[in-house]
Amino acid sequence: MLLQVRNLSTYFLADNGVVKAVDDISYDLEEGETLSIVGESGCGKTVSALSLLRLIPDPPGKIVNGKIIFEGRDLLTLSEDEICDIRGNRMAMIFQEPMTSLNPVLTIGHQVMEPLMLHKGMNRKEALKECIELLKGMQIPDARTMVGAYPHQFSGGMRQRVMVSMGLSCNPRLIIADEPTTALDVTIQAELLDLMKKLTRDHFTALIIITHNLGIVARYADKVIVMYAGRIVEKALTRELYRSPLHPYTIGLMESVPRLDQDIKQKLRPIEGQPPDLAYLPSGCSFHPRCRRAMERCRRESPTLREVSDNHEAACWIYE
Amino acid sequence: MNNVNTNALIQVRELTKFFPIYRGAIFRRKLGDLRALDGVSFDISRGETLGLVGESGCGKTTTGRTILQLEHPTSGKVFFEGRDITGIGKYEARRLRKHMQIIYQDPFGSLNPRMTVRDIVGEPLLIHELTKGRGEYRDRIDSLLKMVGLNPAMAARYPHEFSGGERQRIGIARALAVNPGFIICDEPVSALDVSIQAQIINLLEEIQEKFGLAYLFIAHDLAVVRHISNRIAVMYLGEIVEIADRKDLYREPMHPYTKALLAAIPIPDPEMEYSREHSMIKGEVPSLFDTPPGCKFHTRCPIMQKICRESRPVLKNMHGNEHMVACHLVI
Amino acid sequence: MNAHRHSYTIDASLPGPRSNAWTAFFTLMKHKVALAGLVILLGLLFMAVFAPVLAPSDPNEQDLYHVLEGPSLKHLLGTDDVGRDLLSRVIFGSRATLLMGALSTFFSAVIGVLIGLVAGYKGGIVDMVVMRITDTFMCVPALVLMLVIVSALGPGMQSIVLSITILSWTWFARIVRGQVMLVRELPYVEAANALGASGFRIMFKHLLPNVMAPIIVTATIALGGNIMLESAVSFLGLGVQQPTSSWGNELRIGYSYLEVVPLFSLAPGLMITLAVLAFNFIGDGLRDALDPRLRSSLGIRGNGYGRAGGTNAVVK
């Protein structure tokens, strides 16, 4: 097992109380597997990813509990030096905004070579050669000249590819992609994700894709985690999740998204209400104010994640 | 495309918008033109929704702004209720605003943070003097807020106290205040969470039915556009490459770009996705500054031929019905 | 309708409408330095308003038998060259100084903001012309201008206020113009345009309120600067004339007797320093309090949460 996350909780201290951005989540990831963490803004998916790499700013945030066992070691017990050794090397992250994630005053080449020289101990000449190979592998045209170019000379799609090259450069075992295509056009998105999927398959790299797009999940992920208000509400293999979603939130999401392949329905069935303010979470099950099937119990007690059918878990009182 | 459509509320003919690019501060030298719109034509009937899809840089937002005369087109004409409104002056434009409104993409930037909701929704009422007296003013605002699903008691609050979806509702209420016949929806749900998008889409459909509004629905999400539109136009680099009834477009896309767009959009169904082809076109979108000659799509087209490089295709009617495509290779 | 039930999402039990002014006020209160400045300012204002009550003697009462004396029980700060109580004169002097500072700042702000608004909104030729005019005014040497005005209108409060106004409106104009050029690109300004709003409406309802922050900060600091300017002018003898007292005025007289009665110079000098410091401190605090970036860190984040008091700044 490449990655085992156990009871991870990350809280933020704010003026008006504690914000439980991530509250007791656990999941596994094998080598070469693709996991998708789905949820809307504020559900904690990005914070959970940042927690893996211990990139949570402290203060005001703090990983208050849990274990992150990666390649046999609990990342939360490592020293700062040790975790730096893992970041970019064994575990890499690709961020959402290609505009701001690249340093505008350094050349593309410099930025891609940096992890190579830092983690793999290459000298400039070796790193440059490797860098050009990587850029070619990402189908960036004219790689040799592009190495001396600056980020602002590239389009969004190209910049994202550069980021992916940086992520793949040291052949990590796990790549975390945080909403990798939100800022991109659909056609560019498709190309980029296909490319990423192919490369991770070739190198047997595990991939965590964080997204809110149910289509991307269906296309690329082997298994899925659905998050809401900081907790996991459903966990399953992709096909299973789409074939029979269990949690009312998952069902609600699927029903509210217009789909290209379906007959044009008269009206979409949205989930009523708003996602909750994490500082003022509802009592009991966080989803109950918006849930069509809420019961009395849901208001009082918060359900735990439980296996409902083969390898398919859900946190809902309906299935007790 | 000159068929007389007596039901047409909006008629756009050969709309072009070029943004000249200069170099130098004192002695300006013209480098060329950014061709944001390059000959766009379509009609919108009363009560109809025309969807406008395309990726970034295709000119869909510019189309909306040019129709509203927020930008004057470089050439071409816009007709509203049969009247030519191209390049009208400021005063006439102001009167036009009672009939045409716009809903913006950014729920956070499109509301003045220093105005209360009441002020924001009431502003058009004041500008166009649509109510008399304070009582009527307040009542109208309250009823507008109720219409978009907001509690009128919230009218004294400020935009930052609301969520994205709620703010978008405020924007819709503001657009409705003048009782327009036509609303341009410029990516109204792109910045919202998925579960909220559906709420807003439903709301837009509701008020369209209630007030008989026509919409120009601009978006990049084809699935959303398909849901709400009657007809859809696909744009690429400032031109319409295909325009059809919504069923036809999805059932029988003809232009290679439309096909590529449809293929690129992931469908929430793993079984289906497994057997589909995803990425049909390669490469980057060319810049609007240096558009390719001939057919603008030829640099990325999987079925490109020699003629595509040489001459620019024109929108042609296929099968006699309303389905039009601009491609040399479609018979 | 179903939609209504779930759209009443803001709980009545949450704190009521919170305008940006309150948020700013609370932030300001947390700023120690600004607080100190505020205290000092309130003290000075108190002094000015209640001068007749606070002053131990009539500031114009001359006592030629006790001229240029040092501190005593009767005259806590001593007396001036014609036997008037220094303390009373300093206390009453605050009126003239603060009033002139306030008036000149107010007028220069009004003029500068209007000009900056128009220039920033209209852009193009109007902007260019206005800015060149502004540049011209900025080149005018202060002293020369004041001498000209004083010689034309005679010394006194009007001349001072007029000359300081002429000298300082350009700062406001510049800053406002810059800010307006930023704000006018924001979506809600275009939205107002799309609604059919007239230029006036856009300038005064949309642009002006959103550039108030730098205006307030500039005005506060300008107050301090203008007081110094007034003192300098009065020190040169071009300001308010005897028997009216202002701090600058007193400094002028005290200068001649610096060796004999140092307190004569120290007292008004200290007052001026305090006033300028106070305004600068408050200005600092205001700048922090009104900085939208800081506000957003205790306010609302991204697409989702807009509760009053929500602090989801770092959560995704």
- Residue B3 pLDDT > 80, yes or no? no
pLDDT for C26 equals 65
pLDDT for C261 equals 75
pLDDT for C21 equals 61
Record: contact B265-A215, CB cut-off 8 A: yes
Beta bridge partners of B100: B182
Using a CB-CB cut-off of 8 Å, the residues of chain A touching B197 are: 256-257, 270
Residue C27: pLDDT band (50, 70, 90) is low
Tokens of C190: 């275009």
Each residue's pLDDT tens digit, C240-291: 877 788 888 888 888 887 887 777 788 888 889 999 999 988 888 887 777 6
| Nearest by Cα to B178 from B240, B97, B248 | B97
Give all chains having 3 or more CB-to-CB distances under 8 Å with chain B.
A, C
Q: Which residue of A has its CA nearest to C9?
A: A273
- Residue A49 pLDDT > 60, yes or no? yes
pLDDT for B212 equals 92
pLDDT for C292 equals 57
Each residue's pLDDT tens digit, A206-218: 999 999 889 899 9
Confidence check on the interface: ipTM exceeds 0.90, yes or no: no
Q: Is B117 a member of any domain?
A: no
Q: Which residue of A has its CA nearest to C305?
A: A277
Beta strands B324-325; B316-317: pairing state: antiparallel
CA distance C113 to C214: 11
State phi, psi for A305 to the nearest 5 degrees: -70, 125
**Residues in CB range of B166: below 8 A, 6 or more apart:** A274, B150, C7, C9, C306
Q: Which of A59-63, B23-27, C119-123 has the highest mean pLDDT?
A: C119-123
Q: Is B243 a member of any domain?
A: yes
Residue B235: pLDDT band (50, 70, 90) is very high
Each residue's pLDDT tens digit, A285-316: 999 999 988 889 999 989 999 998 888 999 99
Q: Is B223 a member of any domain?
A: yes
Mean pLDDT (chain C) is: 78
pLDDT for C315 equals 19
Higher pLDDT, A129 or C237: A129
CA distance B166 to C8: 10
CA angle B226, B227, B231 (to 5 degrees): 45
- Residue C301 pLDDT > 80, yes or no? no
Facing B124 at nearest CB: one of C4, C187, C195: C195
Q: Is the dihedral of CA B141, B143, B147, B150 positive or negative?
A: positive
Question: Which residue do the tokens 């900081």 mark?
Answer: A230
Q: Is B44 a member of any domain?
A: yes
Each residue's pLDDT tens digit, B301-329: 888 888 888 888 888 887 767 889 998 88
Q: For A69-73, A153-157, B34-38, B229-233, which range has the lowest pLDDT when averaged over its residues?
A: A153-157
Q: Which one of C9, C30, C316 makes the best mutation probe of the A interface by having the most chain A beta carbons within 10 Å?
A: C316
State phi, psi for C309 to the nearest 5 degrees: 85, 0
Mean pLDDT (chain B) is: 87
Beta bridge partners of A10: A22, A63
Each residue's pLDDT tens digit, B88-97: 888 888 888 8
pLDDT for B268 equals 86
- Residue C303 pLDDT > 50, yes or no? no
Residue C297: pLDDT band (50, 70, 90) is very low
pLDDT for C302 equals 32
Provide the number of structural domains found in chain B: 1
Query: Mean pLDDT across the stretch B268-274?
Result: 84
Query: Residue B26 belongs to a domain with what CATH number?
Result: 3.40.50.300
Q: How much of chain C, in percent, has pLDDT values that exceed 70? A: 82
Q: Is the dihedral of CA A235, A240, A245, A249 positive or negative?
A: positive
Q: How much of chain B, in percent, has pLDDT values that exceed 90? A: 41
pLDDT for A16 equals 73
Each residue's pLDDT tens digit, C305-314: 333 222 222 1
Q: Which residue of A has its CA nearest to B251?
A: A261
Record: contact C196-B95, CB cut-off 8 A: yes
Facing B193 at nearest CB: one of C20, C186, C304: C304
From first CA to last CA, the distance across chain A in angstroms is 30
Each residue's pLDDT tens digit, B152-200: 998 998 898 888 889 999 999 999 999 999 999 999 998 888 888 999 9
- Residue A222 pLDDT > 70, yes or no? yes
Q: Is B165 a member of any domain?
A: no
**Which CATH architecture group holds C2-30+94-315?**
Orthogonal Bundle (1.10)
CA distance B272 to B193: 25
pLDDT for B25 equals 63
Record: contact C312-A42, CB cut-off 8 A: yes
- Residue C19 pLDDT > 50, yes or no? no
CA distance C14 to C267: 51
Instruction: Give the range of the structural domain holding residue B37, as residue numbers without chain letter.
Output: 8-99+180-256
Q: Which residue of B has its CA nearest to A188?
A: B284
Q: Domain ranges for chain C, please list them.
A: 2-30+94-315
Q: Which one of B123, B147, B170 makes the best mutation probe of the C interface by having the most chain C beta carbons within 10 Å?
A: B123
- Residue C296 pLDDT > 50, yes or no? no
Beta bridge partners of B75: B16
Facing C306 at nearest CB: one of B98, B114, B163: B163
pLDDT for A265 equals 63
Higher pLDDT, C81 or A18: A18
Q: Which region holds residue B287: left if phi is over 0, alpha if psi is between -120 and 50, else beta?
A: beta
